[in-house]
Amino acid sequence: MVTAGNSGLGQRIMVLRLRRRMTREILASLVGRSSEWLRQVELHQRPVDRLSVLLRLAEVLRVQDVAGFLALASGEALPSVPPSVARSPETSRAIREALLGSWGDTDGIESPGVAHRVRQDYWSIWRSSARRYSFALSVLPDMLKEARALKARGHPGDAEAFADVHRFAASVLVRMGEGQLALVAIERGLGAGRIEDLASAGAVIRISYGAVLLNNDHADMAARVFRAAGEVLERRGATDDGCAVRALRAEAASATAVAEAARADAVEADRHLMAAEQILAGGPPDLACGSWETTLNRIRSYIRLGRYQPAIRLAERTDVGEQESRDWLAQFFLQIAEAQERSHAPVAAVYSLLQAEEASSEEIRFNPAGGRLAQMLLRHDNALVRRKLWAMLERNGLL
């Protein structure tokens, strides 16, 4: 009934399950299937081919519009959420109040598995869903309120969980151009406890902190934060030289390069880019490691240094066929579109913008970087470019 390539039904099931605060194991057992079966359905890797199972899912998830739910199984796309609804003043106010609320204001708020949902589900949706912005906006207020209760509880492990919740919030907010709120979120995550005791997790949140600082034009401070993350990971690498730690070390080094490029220090930027390469190449001969984030940071560094052609050539050499993260793909194509626009190649830039939109259908609508780039391209005296851009802006409700 639904093909493995259809994104509507699987995403709808995942969203409804999370709203009901159900784990995959619980929902799967209630419909007589395994958690692995449900995981594959939610990630659009297998079909739901029985009407009885669909009806049972609708019943358990308390679907109001059963006909619409079943229509998704026939291949119809999930309807788009207009930005006027998803980013309504009420939604923005709820996120702000949840983030800035008093630490002691936790009466009536519980935190049933918020950390588990963020780690196992929310990050997965953010990286893989075409409508990740709409989803994130729908869960952020409750997620942040539950995190306050988590902080008040003070159980072992809660500091790391609290930090991860706020790192997720900061990642969403910074992509939406809410730099100041993102800074508040990531600083609250850092203040949750002794980040030094969180090993790699502490370095990850430091890298996120540096990215938010850089987005807010604090390049000097961002460079220091990235270096601190690299030092934590270097100590970890003395006992664990696996790909995961090396990829994080390379990410920290290449992020430092981006910050140095933002400071117009080409020598330091190149030095850190070379260090990132050496980290990835310096392990055991039989353990080849790569880092998608390091590739993206290299492109960012080139663009900030005005090296647009090297950025474009690197992109052309990057095989993104195996990259499943819509978040990464959207950022990749937006960066390439910027390099192409600055290289006076507007047709190529529009094509890259369309690739970003294909990776994440809400990217141009919710990410201000996409909208700004579209406005820059409209200045080019090219009828083809303008026609494509007008259609894109109208499609995303930006006209």
Which among 23-37, 55-69, 180-194, 338-352 has the top mean pLDDT? Answer: 338-352
Among residues 18, 39, 73, the one where a domain terminates is: 73
253 falls within a domain: no
111 falls within a domain: no
Say which DSSP state 195 is in: G
pLDDT of residue 5: 37
Tens digits of per-residue pLDDT, 79-92?
A: 444 444 345 667 77
Neighbours of 290 (CB within 10 A): 11
345 falls within a domain: yes
pLDDT of residue 308: 96
* CA R_g for the chain: 22
371 falls within a domain: yes
Read off the pLDDT of each residue in 351-373 and give the average, rounded to a whole number.
Answer: 90
| pLDDT reading at 29 higher than 50 | yes
Whether the CB-CB separation of 314 and 273 falls below 8 Å is answered with: no
113 falls within a domain: no
| pLDDT reading at 343 higher than 90 | yes
Tens digits of per-residue pLDDT, 97-138?
A: 878 765 455 444 454 565 566 666 788 888 888 888 888 888
Domain with residue 19: its CATH number is 1.10.260.40
Among residues 49, 73, 97, the one where a domain terminates is: 73
Domain that holds residue 341: 330-399
232 falls within a domain: no
Tens digits of per-residue pLDDT, 237-249?
A: 656 667 888 888 9
Question: pLDDT confidence of 393, banded at 50, 70, 90?
Answer: confident
Beta strand extents in the chain (DSSP E only): none
Among residues 44, 73, 102, the one where a domain terminates is: 73
Which are the contacts of 337, defined by CB distance < 8 A and separation ≥ 6? 349, 350, 352, 353, 356, 373
26 falls within a domain: yes
Read off the pLDDT of each residue in 350-375 and give the average, rounded to a whole number.
Answer: 90
| pLDDT reading at 196 higher than 50 | no
Tally of domains within the chain: 2
pTM above 0.85, yes or no: no
109 falls within a domain: no
